[in-house]
């Protein structure tokens, strides 16, 4: 059945794979700082690129699970063995791995639940949304704890629901249960909040499905094995035995450290989903999960997702990324909800009301989804990454100094070392006169980084040219009313003493 579905929709599958690869290649950077500073910078520390004093506070508190820094460390060591030292290629490889594993997760979910979808057109929409919903390729390309916890949990979840093997294959059968538990456990050691998803699934297996004890035991052993791997990874990273899950719970829940980053009202997620999910389509992102929780209370998806969502409504500090582990299951929740409405006579009035709007709304969705998909697939996740790559590609780090007056380009929440060559010197100066003295006396190539598009007139005897700007150069012709001068855009100038060789004669 699944093969027939895919054979009839090869174009969707090919487009979905290409969209994920494009997002992995082009969406350089991070969605939120933790994706970089608590994974790549931690890996850079173990690689000897960053110092302990440069790491985020979570390192000192032993809060961050080390499994993803360990995976990044291992992949980067492979790159080093192949003499591939470029950190931008290394980060891209991590995004490609994330995207491909996420695709595998989506295919597993479709395979596990396609028998519940009775209408062929709904199956087609499930495939389309699972691969090409505008936000999924971007989220799937993130080497973040939220994405990896989601892909691991829903992969294990899908294994639980896959069709059973033939009788007499008990050893292989329990092996699959063990693998499912291993994936569920990995979701926990990637992001501890996934423990709520695991608990919800476990309760469903016990009270609703009434799963056999042998299968539950095999799954529990898989979870325990993953947690043990996580503890060993933490020991390797921190250099001492520690249980980061407990450290995280003690600091953020018992000591309420998380509230220092802001407290939002319980309805914050509803507002954010509505505004950032692109109205009016974002209404479905809010209504469909709630409808499924009410209409299908015995479904395994309800048991897993409802406690997770309720927990995040209860916790004061809220960020959209905290709900990202639910992104993979949203297409299935949407389709199951629409199927329930379609097949239940009690919703006939709603169906009649929607009949006249269905086709125009679907056409509008396809247009909007395509436009947004093109943006997220080709736009960098962080515009500043191109500044680091320009410096990395064009200058000898040992013969170059980067100077700045107001903001250090290589410091975000904490110092950024992963994309910076160790020999590159970055210095703060007080004024343009000091810049001129450096250019005259340092003997190195001097780069001046500023967030002002025009850095102001150069001091006498100093010649500067703009070698990099955050926006493409054709945008300069659209600088109506000097809006670019009022916008904080990273710009890089190469400066030298005017008495030295002119730029124009190089």
* Domain edges within the chain: 2-378, 385-505
Mean pLDDT value of segment 408-423: 94
The answer to whether 137 and 20 have CB atoms below 8 angstroms apart is yes
Band of the pLDDT at 460, cuts 50, 70, 90?
low
455 vs 392, more confident: 392
Spatial CA neighbour of 471 closest among 458, 485, 457, 456: 485
The pLDDT of residue 504 is: 42
Per-residue pLDDT at 302 exceeds 50:
yes
Spatial CA neighbour of 61 closest among 230, 219, 258, 217: 258
The answer to whether 439 and 495 have CB atoms below 8 angstroms apart is yes
The pLDDT of residue 172 is: 58
173 vs 495, more confident: 495
Beta strands in 173-296 (DSSP E): none
Mean pLDDT value of segment 235-259: 95
The pLDDT of residue 394 is: 96
Instruction: Report how far residue 91's alpha carbon sits from residue 72's, in angstroms, rounded to the nearest whole number.
Output: 9
Mean pLDDT value of segment 346-350: 86
Instruction: Report how far residue 416's alpha carbon sits from residue 391's, in angstroms, rounded to the nearest whole number.
Output: 14
The pLDDT of residue 142 is: 98
- Residue % of the chain over a pLDDT of 90: 79
Both tokens of 379, joined, read 């736009």
The pLDDT of residue 499 is: 60
Q: Give me the residue label for tokens 């043990």.
A: 228
CA distances from 255 to 155, 188, 241, 505 (A): 33, 21, 22, 63
Q: Give me the residue label for tokens 């609703």.
A: 208
Q: Going edge to edge, which strands form the sheet with 400-404?
A: 425-428, 400-404, 445-450, 491-497, 462-469
Bridge partners of residue 446, in order along the sequence: 401, 495
Instruction: Report how far residue 494's alpha carbon sits from residue 506's, in angstroms, rounded to the nearest whole number.
Output: 13
Average pLDDT for the chain: 92
The answer to whether 247 and 61 have CB atoms below 8 angstroms apart is yes
* Residue 136, φ and ψ in degrees, nearest 5: -70, -45
Band of the pLDDT at 234, cuts 50, 70, 90?
very high
Mean pLDDT value of segment 497-501: 62
CA 147 to chain CA centroid, nearest Å:
5
Which is it for the CA torsion 265, 266, 268, 271, positive or negative? negative
Mean pLDDT value of segment 214-220: 96
The pLDDT of residue 170 is: 53
- Residue % of the chain over a pLDDT of 70: 94
CA torsion, ordered 340, 345, 348, 351, to nearest 10 deg: 20
Per-residue pLDDT at 501 exceeds 60:
no
CA torsion, ordered 98, 225, 324, 237, to nearest 10 deg: -70
Instruction: Report how far residue 56's alpha carbon sits from residue 61's, in angstroms, rounded to the nearest whole number.
Output: 10
Band of the pLDDT at 484, cuts 50, 70, 90?
confident
Among the ranges given (121-135, 226-240, 342-356, 391-405), the one the predictor scored with the smallest mean pLDDT? 342-356
Both tokens of 395, joined, read 């200058």
Mean pLDDT value of segment 165-190: 82
What count of residues does the chain have?
A: 506
Per-residue pLDDT at 414 exceeds 70:
yes
Band of the pLDDT at 455, cuts 50, 70, 90?
low
The pLDDT of residue 500 is: 52
Per-residue pLDDT at 505 exceeds 50:
no
Bridge partners of residue 463, in order along the sequence: 496
Instruction: Report how far residue 470's alpha carbon sits from residue 315's, in angstroms, rounded to the nearest whole number.
Output: 37
- Beta-carbon contacts of 238 under 8 Å, excluding residues fewer than 6 positions away, are 59, 62, 66
The pLDDT of residue 164 is: 73
Instruction: Report how far residue 50's alpha carbon sits from residue 68's, in angstroms, rounded to the nearest whole number.
Output: 17
CA 246 to chain CA centroid, nearest Å:
24
The answer to whether 340 and 296 have CB atoms below 8 angstroms apart is yes
Instruction: Report how far residue 454's alpha carbon sits from residue 486's, in angstroms, rounded to the nearest whole number.
Output: 10
Spatial CA neighbour of 193 closest among 298, 105, 324, 334: 324
The pLDDT of residue 456 is: 59
DSSP-assigned states of every residue in 358-426: HHHHHHHHHHHHHHHHHHHHHS-S-TTHHHHHHHHHHS-GGGEEEEESS--TTBSSSB--TTS-TT-EE
Per-residue pLDDT at 6 exceeds 70:
no
Band of the pLDDT at 457, cuts 50, 70, 90?
low
Band of the pLDDT at 92, cuts 50, 70, 90?
very high
Does a cis peptide bond (omega within 30 degrees of 0) precede residue 185? no
Band of the pLDDT at 57, cuts 50, 70, 90?
very high
Band of the pLDDT at 169, cuts 50, 70, 90?
low
155 vs 457, more confident: 155
Band of the pLDDT at 462, cuts 50, 70, 90?
confident
The pLDDT of residue 280 is: 92
The pLDDT of residue 356 is: 79
The pLDDT of residue 506 is: 44
CA distances from 196 to 203, 233, 381 (A): 11, 22, 29
Q: How many CA atoms lie within 13 A of 274 on its CB side?
A: 7
Encode pLDDT of 29-52 as tens digits: 999 999 999 999 999 999 999 999
pTM of this structure: 0.94
Mean pLDDT value of segment 156-168: 82
Per-residue pLDDT at 262 exceeds 60:
yes
The pLDDT of residue 351 is: 80
The pLDDT of residue 140 is: 98
Per-residue pLDDT at 502 exceeds 80:
no
The pLDDT of residue 168 is: 52
Instruction: Report how far residue 432's alpha carbon sits from residue 429's, in angstroms, rounded to the nearest whole number.
Output: 8
């Amino acid at each position: 059945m699944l093969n027939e579905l895919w054979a009839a929709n090869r174009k969707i599958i090919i487009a979905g794979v290409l969209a994920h690869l494009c997002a992995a290649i082009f969406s350089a950077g991070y969605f939120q700082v933790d994706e970089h500073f608590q994974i790549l910078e931690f890996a850079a520390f173990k690689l000897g690129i960053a110092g302990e004093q440069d790491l985020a506070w979570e390192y000192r508190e032993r809060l961050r699970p080390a499994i993803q820094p360990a995976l990044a460390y291992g992949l980067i060591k492979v790159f080093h063995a192949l003499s591939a030292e470029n950190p931008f290629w290394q980060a891209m490889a991590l995004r490609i791995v994330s995207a491909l594993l996420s695709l595998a997760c989506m295919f597993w979910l479709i395979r596990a639940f396609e028998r519940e979808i009775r209408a062929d057109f709904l199956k087609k929409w499930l495939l389309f949304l699972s691969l090409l919903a505008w936000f999924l390729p971007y989220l799937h390309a993130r080497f973040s704890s939220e994405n990896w916890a989601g892909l691991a949990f829903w992969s294990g979840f899908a294994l639980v629901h896959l069709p059973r093997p033939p009788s007499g294959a008990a050893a292989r059968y329990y092996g699959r249960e063990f693998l499912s538990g291993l994936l569920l456990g990995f979701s926990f050691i990637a992001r501890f909040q996934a423990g709520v998803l695991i608990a919800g699934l476990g309760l469903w297996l016990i009270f609703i499905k009434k799963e056999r004890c042998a299968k539950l035991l095999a799954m529990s052993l898989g979870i325990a094995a993953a947690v043990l791997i996580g503890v060993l990874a933490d020991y390797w990273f921190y250099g001492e035995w520690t249980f980061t899950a407990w450290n995280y719970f003690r600091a953020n829940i018992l000591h309420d450290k998380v509230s220092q980053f802001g407290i939002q009202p319980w309805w914050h997620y509803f507002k954010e989903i509505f505004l950032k999910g692109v109205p009016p389509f974002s209404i479905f992102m809010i209504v469909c999960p709630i409808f499924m929780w009410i209409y299908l209370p015995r479904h395994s998806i309800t048991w897993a997702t409802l406690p997770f969502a309720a927990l995040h409504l209860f916790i004061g500090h809220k960020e959209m990324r905290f709900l990202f582990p639910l992104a993979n299951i949203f297409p299935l929740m949407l389709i199951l909800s629409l199927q329930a409405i379609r097949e239940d006579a009690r919703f006939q009035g709603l169906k009649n009301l929607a009949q006249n709007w269905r086709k125009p709304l679907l056409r509008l969705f396809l247009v909007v989804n395509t436009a947004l998909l093109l943006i997220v697939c080709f736009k960098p996740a962080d515009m500043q990454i191109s500044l680091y790559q320009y410096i990395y590609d064009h200058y000898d780090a040992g013969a170059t100094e980067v100077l700045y007056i107001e903001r250090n380009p290589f410091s975000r929440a904490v110092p950024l070392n992963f994309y910076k060559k160790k020999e590159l010197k970055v210095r703060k100066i007080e004024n343009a006169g000091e810049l001129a003295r450096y250019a005259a006396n340092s003997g190195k190539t001097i780069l001046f980084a500023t967030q002002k598009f025009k850095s102001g007139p150069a001091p006498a005897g100093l010649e500067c040219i703009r070698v990099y700007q955050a926006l493409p150069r054709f945008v300069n012709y659209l600088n109506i009313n000097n809006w670019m001068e009022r916008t904080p855009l990273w710009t890089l100038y190469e400066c030298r003493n005017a008495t030295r060789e002119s730029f124009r004669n190089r």
